[in-house]
């Protein structure tokens, strides 16, 4: 290598042999990592040492650092001074300016030719009489790469031995790690461990270049790969013998040659360090030497010579001029970022190189995969890092703008230029058709994102991490007013500080910022209004503040649109959705009403899905669904009465209609409990009694104990001295809960109706009249179903099945059934609410009377009556009436009991008549029925229509009289029924 005089442009360390670099930059702190990834097998120090070895070997055959040494490698290329440096700019030690620094706009450091870098500055104090010789470019490179003199000397000796007999061989045809392994011996290292580590580094380098990151596709099961892996495993354990007679060395050599010397389009080429990303990372290590170690923001004045020497590594690393430009732009940008963005000239230099990169990208095809990866990786990382700051530019540069606005704007301008230049190149590379307004679109994105970020910070600082939205702030209205004021100040600051700069790339930056802030505040305003259900003074203040903000932002947008000539601002104005404060009140009323109705309907739906009709407590004998629904309805009407708006009268019909629909649906749901017919036993077919003999009657008395109903399905056993337990089933109890629920709804709907009348200036008459009517009807229905279930299901064994059954009337009287009935009535009164007790007891009375009549008229084959049984039956019915007259404190008035008992009493009176009288009465009733039906014939002997499904008993009805005859146990009735209707005897 030739020696050249070097002017002092950097401050060198007193010792270039230090193993650690105290000036190492903290790239992690700068949030900037390598865009090309990493080489797993090699660390940063190993990569730097490898890069220097490749550099040294590439320059070994050159006797000078003239441009002619490498001009033949890229003959015919035309490039800018940045990408094609010319060495020898200085002649005979004279001082000339660096062409590259001049092209990049970097300042020269030298001021006088007396500031000359000499070897004595780095090799210790000069001996007396010893002349100070200038440093060569290679020595400068060694110091920049932080390589020790011992390592450099060892490398020189090794390469000298390696090139003996290989004169004229190109460096790019030599596999450097393999040559080093052959030439270097353990004796040249301090100890065996250092040699082993060095040897294993060379093996790992070969693995990275030939196997892990090959430039050409490689089959991992290739025989050479397998042989190489065996040698590598052996080297990992201990240092291998590298002599000529070593089998391991022969195997390694054969494997390396097989992997490195593969045909490439018919030309001879050695591929061992030109695979991505290994080649890009090694090349970046070399390019980083252009920065002064002591002053990282300074580019050496010898950058022309250094880059010319580094260019000699292109054939080995597979680097082209286009790849060099990308890597050089990345290195300049990386240094600018890592040095705290304190030197704008570095960023400006990166922008200058990016201009060459853009020109290369237009002419470069898509077949060069390495170039594509390097380009997208480096420029993508530059764009990503820059945009990460630009998306929050207001917060990052606002404080600086207050102190040194020019510095802040200059830093932001640099980032904008870098991001847009790199992004445009990437976009053109990735997409065949890139929009012409790429820069405008990206700046539009920066403005919107930065405004949203700043607005969010203001919001969080004013609300305590969104505290008012979660209900922790005592006065959210004050927060909203302050937020509106701060948002307006933010827009003013943006227009004053940043919009003039942004206008270089965007025609309407003020309009974009104003529209963005308008939308951000609109989102918060809508969220705030979503939590407000009534109009208050606080809400009025917030709406006024929002109106002022909207007018200010609209004025900014209009002024910016007036200055815009391409119509883009007018399109931005169209994105501003008005708050429409004037219509908020009306919409708020409607939204409040819809929300309340929605909550009530959700409550109704939950009740339909989960209600089990279990009372909440003894004090509150109704389910939780009714309480929740009525609570929501009361709260709705209370809030409605507090709304300070005269327009609320217009929504009263809609509110009442919505509530009434829900009430009626809930009432229908409560009343959906079946019908009483499902509990009535079927009417048995008409037959005539068998007249039992005296012996058969004695036998029945012996078999069945007196005064006992037959045991059916768990009916109480024992005589009359055993008090029966209440027989109300759980299903009947749930019906009582439904009855309580309906009365609960009735009571509260009355109260709601009253409150509505007092709060509205013109309330409708009986607003909930349909609900009240539906509830009253439902009460009657549920009470009726519960009564029939109690009498015909729960009490069937003691009443319908047990009364007067299978024995004489005297042996199956009503007393046991009355005891059970009284127990059930007591339980009913204890379960039902006070308002529900009268109707429930009255319906039980009706059902009991119906059951008593069915015992007398449709009791089936087990029952028969004689004329002499009338007195006992009459006495039993009086006892049954008395049970209801004495139930509770006048729950059923005596006149009501007497009115409901008229039919049953008439039937009992029929039982007192002689059989002949009954036959005559039946004939007369039949004649009246035929005459009423339009038959016109007085055929008393004709059979009446037997309404077997009818249960409307009447002493004057022929069917009722006929059933009395069918249950009459005497010969006259038997013969009449046989002769007239051919009815069979009971079996």
Q: Which of 128-137, 266-275, 653-662 is predicted most confidently? A: 653-662
Model confidence over 29-38: pLDDT tens digits? Answer: 567 888 998 8
User: How far is the C-alpha of 921 from the C-alpha of 157, rounded, in Å?
Assistant: 146
User: How far is the C-alpha of 318 from the C-alpha of 190, rounded, in Å?
Assistant: 35
- pLDDT recorded at residue 528: 87
- pLDDT recorded at residue 61: 52
pLDDT above 80 (res 343) = yes
Model confidence over 889-899: pLDDT tens digits? Answer: 778 898 999 99
230 exposed, middle or buried (CB, 10 Å; 0-12, 13-18, 19+)? middle
- 3-state SS of 494-536 is HHHHCHHHHCCCCCCHHHHHHHHHHHHHHHHHHHHHHHCCCCC
Model confidence over 860-878: pLDDT tens digits? Answer: 888 888 888 999 999 999 9
pLDDT above 80 (res 829) = yes
- pLDDT recorded at residue 168: 63
Q: Which of 27, 20, 7, 8 minimizes the C-alpha distance to 331?
A: 27
User: How far is the C-alpha of 667 from the C-alpha of 776, rounded, in Å?
Assistant: 10
Residues 6+ apart with CB under 8 A from 350: 329, 332, 333, 336, 382, 418
Question: 364 versus 132: which is more confidently predicted?
Answer: 364
User: How far is the C-alpha of 403 from the C-alpha of 401, rounded, in Å?
Assistant: 6
Q: Are 502 and 447 in contact (CB under 8 A)?
A: yes
Distances, alpha carbon 111 to alpha carbons 7, 359, 934, in Å: 10, 35, 140
Residues 6+ apart with CB under 8 A from 830: none
627 exposed, middle or buried (CB, 10 Å; 0-12, 13-18, 19+)? middle
- pLDDT recorded at residue 183: 86
Model confidence over 46-84: pLDDT tens digits? Answer: 999 999 999 998 887 544 333 333 333 333 333 344 554
pLDDT band at 536 (very low <50, low <70, confident <90, very high): confident
Q: Are 568 and 508 in contact (CB under 8 A)?
A: yes
692 exposed, middle or buried (CB, 10 Å; 0-12, 13-18, 19+)? middle
pLDDT above 90 (res 98) = no
Of the candidate ranges 21-25, 283-287, 292-296, 966-970, the one whose mean pLDDT is the lowest: 21-25
99 exposed, middle or buried (CB, 10 Å; 0-12, 13-18, 19+)? middle
- Pseudo-torsion of CA 140, 145, 147, 153, nearest 10°? -50
Tokens 């039937």 appear where?
907
Q: Are 414 and 421 in contact (CB under 8 A)?
A: no
Instruction: Compute the half-sphere exposure of residue 603: CA atoms within 13 Å on the CB side of its CA.
Output: 21
Q: Are 418 and 442 in contact (CB under 8 A)?
A: no
- pLDDT recorded at residue 576: 83
- pLDDT recorded at residue 667: 94
User: How far is the C-alpha of 614 from the C-alpha of 64, rounded, in Å?
Assistant: 103
* Boundaries of every domain in the chain: 30-60+98-104+136-319, 321-401+410-429, 435-463+475-579, 680-692+794-933+946-986
Tokens 């509106």 appear where?
484
Q: What single DSSP character describes residue 6? A: E
Q: Are 134 and 305 in contact (CB under 8 A)?
A: no
Give the pLDDT mean for 689-696. 56
Model confidence over 545-569: pLDDT tens digits? Answer: 998 999 999 999 888 877 776 666 6
Give the pLDDT mean for 846-872. 89
Quote the tokens at residue 721.
Answer: 């001295």
Provide the 10 A C-beta neighbour count for residue 406.
Answer: 9
The radius of gyration computed from the CA coordinates of the chain, to the nearest angstrom, equals: 54
- pLDDT recorded at residue 584: 74
- pLDDT recorded at residue 77: 35
Residues 6+ apart with CB under 8 A from 50: 42, 201, 205, 282
Query: Cα-flanking dihedrals φ and ψ of residue 375, to 5°?
Result: -65, -55
Q: What single DSSP character describes residue 865? A: B
Give the pLDDT mean for 614-622. 82
Quote the tokens at residue 587.
Answer: 């919409």
H helix intervals, 60-191? 68-71, 99-104, 120-123, 137-144, 149-162, 176-183
User: How far is the C-alpha of 405 from the C-alpha of 702, rounded, in Å?
Assistant: 120
Give the pLDDT mean for 407-428. 89
Sign for the pseudo-dihedral over CA of 493, 497, 503, 506: negative
Question: Long-range contact list for 260-264, CB < 8 A, 24+ apart?
Answer: 260/175, 260/210, 262/216, 264/216
Q: Which of 446-450, 555-559, 688-692 is predicted most confidently? A: 446-450
User: How far is the C-alpha of 745 from the C-alpha of 775, rounded, in Å?
Assistant: 8
Give the pLDDT mean for 235-261. 88
- pLDDT recorded at residue 381: 93
Q: Are 753 and 768 in contact (CB under 8 A)?
A: yes
pLDDT above 70 (res 406) = no
Give the pLDDT mean for 393-419. 76
Q: Are 632 and 603 in contact (CB under 8 A)?
A: yes
pLDDT above 80 (res 728) = yes
Residues 6+ apart with CB under 8 A from 810: 706, 869, 872
Q: Which of 604, 574, 622, 590 minimizes the C-alpha distance to 740?
A: 622
pLDDT band at 116 (very low <50, low <70, confident <90, very high): very low
User: How far is the C-alpha of 722 from the C-alpha of 511, rounded, in Å?
Assistant: 94
Give the pLDDT mean for 951-970. 89
Listed in order, strand segments (DSSP E) in 324-382 are: none
DSSP string, 200-219: HHHHHHHHIIIIIS-SS---
Give the pLDDT mean for 629-657. 82
In total, the chain counts a number of residues equal to 987
Model confidence over 9-30: pLDDT tens digits? Answer: 333 333 333 333 434 565 555 6
pLDDT above 70 (res 594) = yes
- pLDDT recorded at residue 93: 38
Q: Are 100 and 304 in contact (CB under 8 A)?
A: yes
Q: Which of 646, 663, 530 minimizes the C-alpha distance to 595?
A: 530
Model confidence over 158-217: pLDDT tens digits? Answer: 877 776 656 667 777 888 899 889 888 888 888 989 999 999 999 999 999 999 998 888
Model confidence over 754-786: pLDDT tens digits? Answer: 888 766 655 556 678 899 999 999 999 999 999
pLDDT above 60 (res 738) = yes
Give the pLDDT mean for 132-141. 78
User: How far is the C-alpha of 198 from the C-alpha of 340, rounded, in Å?
Assistant: 36
Q: Which of 59, 50, 41, 48 minimizes the C-alpha distance to 19?
A: 48
Average pLDDT score, the chain: 80
């Amino acid at each position: 290598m030739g020696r050249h005089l070097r002017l002092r442009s950097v401050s060198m360390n007193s010792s270039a042999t230090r193993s650690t670099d105290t000036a190492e930059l903290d790239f992690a702190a700068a949030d900037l990592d390598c865009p090309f990834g990493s080489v797993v097998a090699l660390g940063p120090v190993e990569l730097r040492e490898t890069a220097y070895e490749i550099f040294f070997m590439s320059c070994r055959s050159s006797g000078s650092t003239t441009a002619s040494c490498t001009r033949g490698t890229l003959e015919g290329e035309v490039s800018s001074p940045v990408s094609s440096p010319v060495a020898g700019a200085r002649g005979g030690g004279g001082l000339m300016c660096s062409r590259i620094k001049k092209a990049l706009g970097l300042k020269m450091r030298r001021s006088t030719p007396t500031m000359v870098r000499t070897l004595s500055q780095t090799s210790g104090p000069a001996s007396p009489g010893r002349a100070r010789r200038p440093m060569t470019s290679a020595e400068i490179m060694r110091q920049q790469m932080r390589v020790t003199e011992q390592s450099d000397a060892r490398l020189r000796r090794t390469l000298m031995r390696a090139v003996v007999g290989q004169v004229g061989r190109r460096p790019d045809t030599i596999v450097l790690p393999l040559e080093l392994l052959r030439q270097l011996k353990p004796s040249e290292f301090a100890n065996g461990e250092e040699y082993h580590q060095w040897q294993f580094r060379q093996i790992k380098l070969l693995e990275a270049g030939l196997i892990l990151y090959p430039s050409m596709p490689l089959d991992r099961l290739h025989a050479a790969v397998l042989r190489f892996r065996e040698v590598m495993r052996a080297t990992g354990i201990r240092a291998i013998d590298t002599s000529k007679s070593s089998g391991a060395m022969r195997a390694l050599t054969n494997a390396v040659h097989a992997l490195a010397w593969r045909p490439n389009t018919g030309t001879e080429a050695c591929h061992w360090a030109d695979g991505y990303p290994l080649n890009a990372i090694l090349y970046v290590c070399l390019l980083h030497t252009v920065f002064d170690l002591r002053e990282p923001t300074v580019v050496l004045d010898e950058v022309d010579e250094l880059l010319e020497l580094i260019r000699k590594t292109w054939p080995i690393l597979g680097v082209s001029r286009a790849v060099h430009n990308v890597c050089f732009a990345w290195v300049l940008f990386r240094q600018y970022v890592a040095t705290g963005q304190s030197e704008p000239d570095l960023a400006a230099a990166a922008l200058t190189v990016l201009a060459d990169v853009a020109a290369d990208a237009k002419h470069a095809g898509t077949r060069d995969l390495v170039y594509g990866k390097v380009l997208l990786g480096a420029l993508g990382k530059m764009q990503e890092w820059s945009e990460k700051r630009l998306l929050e530019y207001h917060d990052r540069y606002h404080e600086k703008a207050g102190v040194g606005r020019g510095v802040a704007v200059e830093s932001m301008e640099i980032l904008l230029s870098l991001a847009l230049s790199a992004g445009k190149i990437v976009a053109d590379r990735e997409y065949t058709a890139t929009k012409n307004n790429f820069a405008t679109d990206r700046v539009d994105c920066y403005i919107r994102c930065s405004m949203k970020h700043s607005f969010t910070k203001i919001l969080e600082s004013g609300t305590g991490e969104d505290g008012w939205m979660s209900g922790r702030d005592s006065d959210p209205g004050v927060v909203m007013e302050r937020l509106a004021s701060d948002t307006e100040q933010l827009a003013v600051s943006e227009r004053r500080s940043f919009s003039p700069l942004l206008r270089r790339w965007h025609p309407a930056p003020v309009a974009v910022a104003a529209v963005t802030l308008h939308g951000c505040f609109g989102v918060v305003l809508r969220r705030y209004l979503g939590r407000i259900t009534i109009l208050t003074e606080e809400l009025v203040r917030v709406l006024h503040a929002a109106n002022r903000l909207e007018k200010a932002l609209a004025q900014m947008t209009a002024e910016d649109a007036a200055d815009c000539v391409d119509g883009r601002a007018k399109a931005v104005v169209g994105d501003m959705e008005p708050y429409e404060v004037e219509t908020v009140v009306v919409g708020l009323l409607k939204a409040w009403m819809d929300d309340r109705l929605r909550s009530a309907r959700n409550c109704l739906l939950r009740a339909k899905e989960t209600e089990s009709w279990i009372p909440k407590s003894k004090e509150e004998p109704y389910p939780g669904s009714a309480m929740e629904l009525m609570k929501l309805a009361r709260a709705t009407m209370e809030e409605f009465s507090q709304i300070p708006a005269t327009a609320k009268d217009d929504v009263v019909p809609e509110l009442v209609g919505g509530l009434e629909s829900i009430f009626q649906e809930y009432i229908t749901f409560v009343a959906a409990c079946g019908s009483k017919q499902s509990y009535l036993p079927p009417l048995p077919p008409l037959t005539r009694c068998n007249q039992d003999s005296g012996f058969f009657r004695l036998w029945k008395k012996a078999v069945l104990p007196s005064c006992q109903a037959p045991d059916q399905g768990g009916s109480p056993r024992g005589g009359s001295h055993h008090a029966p337990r209440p027989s109300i089933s759980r299903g009947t109890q749930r019906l009582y809960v439904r009855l309580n629920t309906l009365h609960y709804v009735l009571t509260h709907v009355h109260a709601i109706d009253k409150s509505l009348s007092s709060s509205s200036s013109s309330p409708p008459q009986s607003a909930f009249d349909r609900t009240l009517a539906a509830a009253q009807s439902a009460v009657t229905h549920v009470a009726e179903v519960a009564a029939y279930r109690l009498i015909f299901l729960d009490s069937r064994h003691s009443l319908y099945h047990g009364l007067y059954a299978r024995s004489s009337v005297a042996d199956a009287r009503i007393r046991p059934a009355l005891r059970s009935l009284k127990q059930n009535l007591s339980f009913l009164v204890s379960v039902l609410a006070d308002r529900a007790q009268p109707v429930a007891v009255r319906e039980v009375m009706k059902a009991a009377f119906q059951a008593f009549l069915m015992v007398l008229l449709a009791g089936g084959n087990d029952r028969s009556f004689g004329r002499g049984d009338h007195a006992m039956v009459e006495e039993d019915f009086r006892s049954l009436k008395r049970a209801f007259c004495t139930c509770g404190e006048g729950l059923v008035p005596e006149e009501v009991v007497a009115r409901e008992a008229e039919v049953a009493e008439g039937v009992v009176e029929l039982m007192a008549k002689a059989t002949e009288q009954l036959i005559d009465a039946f004939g007369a009733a039949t004649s009246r029925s035929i005459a009423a039906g339009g038959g016109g014939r007085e055929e008393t002997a004709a059979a009446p229509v037997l309404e077997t499904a009818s249960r409307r008993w009447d002493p004057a009805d022929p069917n009722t009289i006929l059933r009395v005859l069918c249950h009459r146990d005497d010969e006259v009735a038997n013969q009449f029924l046989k002769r007239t209707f051919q009815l069979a005897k009971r079996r």
